[in-house]
Amino acid sequence: MSNGFLAWLSSALLLLGALIGLIGAIGVLRLPDSYTRMHAASKAGALGAALILGGVAAATSGAFALAAVFALVIVLATAPLAAHAMARAAHRSGITPKTGPLGDELAADVARERAQASAPRHGD
């Protein structure tokens, strides 16, 4: 009985993970700028990978469950951090996002940092 349940569970998790990965890939192709594309890739990719790794753990009846959990922790820890670092580096290099009604708060921070860096220092 539980073997049949694990087969259904693993199939559902694998299909759902693949579907979320497909939605993320469509988002990468269709979204307007690099920031929203990175958001789609990192969020959907991490969630899709988590579901696929859960499906792998269920399909193997726990044989690879520990390896899947370690891989899941690494994916969930690195995907958002990497996307944040790439978005911040892109913004600092001059690639501006398409802003909505909330504006671009990081632009003010970058301008303030550049002004402080170029200001003359006392004692130099």
Q: Is residue 12 part of a domain?
A: yes
Query: pLDDT tens digits for 46-84?
Result: 999 999 999 998 888 777 888 888 998 999 899 889 988
Residue at 67 is within a domain: yes
C-alpha span between 15 and 51 (Å, rounded): 9
Looking at the chain, the number of H-run helices and the number of E-run strands are 4, 0
Residue 34 maps to a domain: yes
Task: Using a cut of 0.75, tell me whether the model's pTM lies above it.
Answer: no
Question: What string of DSSP letters covers 30-46?
Answer: HSSSHHHHHHHHHHHHH
- Look over the chain and give the mean of its residue pLDDT values, rounded to a whole number: 85
Structural domain count of the chain: 1
Q: Which residues span the domain enclosing 104? A: 2-118
Q: Which of 39-43, 90-94, 117-121 has the lowest mean pLDDT?
A: 117-121
Whether residue 123 lies inside any domain: the answer is no
Cβ-based burial of 105 (10 A; exposed 0-12, middle 13-18, buried ≥19) = exposed
User: Is 124 contained in some domain?
Assistant: no
The set of residues, in sequence order, having a beta carbon less than 8 Å from that of 34 and lying 6+ positions away, is 87, 90, 95, 97
Residue 4 confidence class, pLDDT cut points 50, 70, 90: confident
